[in-house]
Amino acid sequence: MFAKVIIDQDAKALDREFEYIVPQGMAVSEGMRVLVPFGARLLQGFVVELSQSCEFDQSKLKEIDRTVEDFAVIKPEMLALMRHMADKLHLKLASCLRLFLPAEMRTDKVRELVVRFVSLAQDFEMPSARAKKQLEIVEFLKENGKQKFADVSNQFGYAPLSALVKNGVVIVENEQILRAPEFDKLQQEHRKLTDLQTRAVETICENKTYLLHGVTGSGKTEVYMCLIERQLERGKSALMLVPEISLTPQVLANFKARFGDQVALIHSGLSAGERFDEWKRIFFGQAKVVVGARSAIFSPIENLGIIIIDEEHEQSYVSENNPRYDTHDIAQFRRAYNDCTLVLGSATPSIDSYAKAIDGEFQLVEMPVRVNGMEMPKIQIIDMMMELRHGNNNIFSMPLMFELKDIVERKKQAMIFINRRGFSSFQRCRQCGYVAKCSDCDVALVYHRFENKLKCHYCGKRYHALDVCPSCGSTDIKQGAIGTERVVEELRKMFPDVPILRMDNDTTSVKNGHRKILNEFRACKPGILVGTQMIAKGHDFEDVLLVGIVDADQSLYQADFRSIGRTFQLITQVAGRAGRSATQGKVILQTYSPNHYVYRFATNYDYKGFFKKEINLRKVTKFPPYARIVRVLFSHENEKVVAEECKECFEKIKEIKEDAPDEFVYLDVMKAPLNKIKNKFRYQIMMRFALSRADELEKQVFDCINPKCKSSVFFEINPNNLS
Ligand code: ADP
Ligand code: ZN
Ligand code: ZN
């Protein structure tokens, strides 16, 4: 027997299948991890195919040295997914396989957690009456049964316990313990579904893709849980994806309350041990419901009945790291493989998904009203230029200050949303305009007031804050725009007695950081939570009656065709945090462009109107979903090398364009907007082509990349981030 093996190494040259002989008597199956001789070394690899014959000269083949486990760690579905990804996304086989296993497992860094237990032997001789401690232990174990060795030893002493073990009175057993992530305990009462929820649950019953368009507070979570329940009753399993960890505490608590130990949780906030053990519970079929962030789409759950992507429009579903993938594509693959249901849920679906629903590729299910019938919060637009003209150069407009005071007096809660993190985005000299930049990356440094340091958000390098302008010597240094810390500081001045909490990347980097802040906030009445994007989604606080959006325009003016859509989504999501219970909420939106159409649609919660405008724009300007964008990005330390290699590739692509002039809407080569990151220069080729021959052209373009070039090359399809 022969095995095709993929070597678990990153090198381009190794990214293919190597053949090995399966030695007589070795039990090997497809998907197993093996150790194989490679040159003088023994490398880890994965068996991806077994066959009776070999393609290579048999006399030159080597034998598999040994298997790592006695079962296949990669299941057949995942092997098929690997081929699909390598083929469609132009990814390396080994890097796909890596996505399927906890990193800790590949490097063998986590050990199973084994705990020693003690219990009384079947028959034993009672210790002598003088050994008082020993007698106490015997009594204790008689009453309480099996106990942890460490606990008993702590309570009664190590010496008497060891003596009992030595004399055969007490026996010791090792048991493996599965580490489980923490979660909040919730009482789960089964609610009576609203009519809209009932209709949604009844409609979503076939094995196809549904787009669940439900306003914020329409009770989508309850719908998801009912759908999952139905699958469990049929003996199937379920996969539920949520965009960020900050969301999972509440969702997870809900799911744990409803489905108990059948739930496994996968996200990057887990410790290595927890992640490994949750993965194992899924792998061996103990967990039937997986809840997790993006990477959970790769969990080895079998017999899927339903996949749910909550907040499907979220950018975080696209992995920007290598390997790049879009969770939606993977979900579609798994849906087809398992012949199961896929539900995409959102209050503000992505333009692409909604277009598919209109075209009939997905089935649209709508929940246009909140669960309690409460009206959506009223969004009031404040023109910050007018505020300035009236002499208010504060962060907060007069109406926002007024509403905040009102909330505090009524002992309710408010959220203040800021579009970025840090105290102020950058430091600038008022005299000559100098802005501090990272020496390794072509980006402005971000000022962190707490540490009084400048930080590069791309490479993490830290610098001293500016006192004196290095360019002109002036000491007139200004902090750029507003950040969370600054807002918190201002609020504390205004309301010295009110708890003011902050939630952003800095405050949530500790384990369970989100959960702690959210739980603390829940108890603060009155209380104000200041935060970035993280506070925009999913949270359900019934006493939040006011949401302030400090700088709504921030996401509006980015050089990206999706930025207006993102602004619409953000406003709708943030606004959705207010007035979720018995009182209507209010939103104060501060802007310098009060007449922008996005605000008109957003304040009316007019998703359909917005969609129409946006889809027409994309049609006219030929952007996705009416075209495909491809970016080929080159990066290397040496600018000359990267420029030349990029140019060489561009010349080849130009030839493709000559043969397909109608299909190419756009093609150009340029420095990337971020010309340098971590001391590597970046050049890019951007192109758009019509959909008619997109697959074929994409493949041709991919083949223009010289596999021997020195630069790192990233091939991106409809990238989210064009920096
Ligand atoms: P969405 O995800 O659509 O924004 P949620 O699922 O968070 O909405 O639900 C909003 C609120 O309504 C939550 O507090 C939830 O517990 C509650 N809820 C959901 N369904 C019902 C129901 N059938 N009856 C009463 N309350 C419900
Ligand atoms: Zn200066
Ligand atoms: Zn840097």
pLDDT tens by residue, 462-514: 899 888 999 899 888 877 666 788 899 999 999 999 999 998 877 777 777 88
How many whole angstroms from 202 Cα to the centroid of ligand 3? 52
- Helices H, strands E: what count in the chain? 21, 32
Task: Pull the structure tokens for residue 76.
Answer: 């057949």
> What residues form DSSP beta bridges with 687?
630, 667
Ligand 1 near 222 CB (within 6 A): yes
CATH architecture assigned to 195-367:
3-Layer(aba) Sandwich (3.40)
Ligand 1 atom at minimal distance to the Cα of residue 194:
23
Question: Does the global pTM surpass 0.85?
Answer: no
Q: Which of 170, 61, 69, 192 shows the shortest CA–CA distance to 125?
A: 170
420 pLDDT tier (thresholds 50, 70, 90) = low
Cβ-count burial of 135 within 10 angstroms (0-12 exposed, 13-18 middle, 19+ buried)? middle
Least confident stretch, 66-70, 76-80, 287-291: 66-70
Per-residue pLDDT at 185: 63
Is a pLDDT exceeding 60 seen at residue 92? Answer: yes
214-233 mean pLDDT: 94
Range scoring the smallest mean pLDDT among 17-31, 590-604, 665-679: 665-679
> What pLDDT score was predicted for residue 555?
66
Lowest-confidence pick of 143-152, 431-440, 468-477, 693-702? 431-440
CATH architecture of 2-106: 3-Layer(aba) Sandwich (3.40)
Q: How far apart are CA 533 and CA 102, in angstroms?
A: 28
**Which residue's CA is the closest to the ligand 1 atom numbered 14?**
540
pLDDT at 424: 47
Which segment of 211-215, 282-286, 364-368, 420-424 scores lowest on mean pLDDT?
420-424
Confidence of residue 423 (pLDDT cuts 50, 70, 90): very low
> Measured from the CB, is residue 214 less than 6 Å from ligand 1?
yes
**What is the location of CATH 3.30.70.360 in the chain?**
628-717
CATH 3.40.1440.60 residue window(s) in the chain: 2-106
CA dist 190 and 181 (Å) reads 24
The per-residue pLDDT for 64 is 95
What spacing in Å lies between the alpha carbon of 435 and ligand 2's midpoint? 8
Burial class (CB in 10 A: 0-12, 13-18, 19+), 253: middle
Complete DSSP assignment for 403-450:
HHHHHHHTT-EEEEE-SS-SSBS-EEETTT--B-B-SSSSSBPEEETT
- Residue pair 576/547 in contact (Cβ under 8 Å)? The answer is no
For ligand 1, pick from 258, 310, 348, 371 the residue to mutate: most ligand atoms within 8 Å of CB: 371
Indicate if the alpha-carbon torsion angle 370, 372, 375, 376 is positive or negative. negative
302, 333, 339, 490 from 82: Cα distances, Å: 16, 11, 18, 52
Supply the DSSP symbol for 137. Answer: H
Tokens at 264, concatenated: 């496994």
Spacing, Cα 503 to ligand 1 middle (Å): 24
Ligand 1 pocket check for 146: Cβ under 6 Å = no
Please indicate whether residue 218, judged by its CB atom, sits closer than 6 Å to ligand 1: yes
Most confident of 30-34, 215-219, 516-520, 578-582: 30-34
**pLDDT-derived band of residue 227, with 50, 70 and 90 as boundaries?**
very high
pLDDT > 70? residue 439? yes
Task: Cite the residue boundaries of each domain of the chain with CATH code 3.40.50.300.
Answer: 195-367, 378-423+482-618
Whether the bond between 243 and the residue before it is cis, its omega within 30 degrees of 0, is no
- Tens digit of each residue's pLDDT (9 = 90 or more) over 627-647: 999 999 999 999 999 999 999
Question: Using an 8 Å Cβ cutoff, are 468 and 476 in contact?
Answer: no
Distance CA 370, CA 376 (A): 8
Question: In terms of pLDDT, which residue wins out, 78 or 392?
Answer: 78
CATH architecture of 628-717: 2-Layer Sandwich (3.30)
Which atom of ligand 1 lies at the shortest distance from residue 216's CA? 4
In three-state secondary structure terms, 47 is: strand
User: What is the residue with the minimal CA distance to atom 15 of ligand 1?
Assistant: 219
Q: Whose CA is nearest to atom 24 of ligand 1?
A: 191
Cα separation of 191 and 254, whole Å? 12
pLDDT for residue 30 is more than 90 = yes
Q: How confident is the model at residue 561 (pLDDT cuts 50, 70, 90)?
A: confident
Q: Are 444 and 426 in contact (CB under 8 A)?
A: yes
CA of 62 to the centre of ligand 2 (A): 67
Q: Which CATH class is domain 378-423+482-618?
A: alpha beta
User: How high is the mean pLDDT of the chain?
Assistant: 87
Q: Which CATH class is domain 113-177?
A: mainly alpha
Which part of the chain is CATH 1.10.10.10?
A: 113-177
pLDDT at residue 377 greater than cutoff 70:
yes
Biggest CA-to-CA distance, the chain: 98
Report the pLDDT value the prediction gives residue 421, as an integer from 0 to 100: 43
Q: What percent of the chain has pLDDT over 90?
A: 49
Q: Is 220 in the pocket of ligand 1 (CB under 6 A)?
A: yes
Helix axes 132-144, 158-166, angle to 10 degrees: 80
The sheet with strand 66-67 has its strands ordered as 17-21, 2-7, 41-51, 33-38, 66-67
Residue-wise pLDDT for 173-185, tens only, equals 887 666 666 656 6
Nearest to 354 by CA among 696, 431, 346: 346
**CA nearest ligand 1 atom 5, residue:** 219
pLDDT on residue 642: 96
**φ and ψ of 352, to 5 deg:** -65, -45
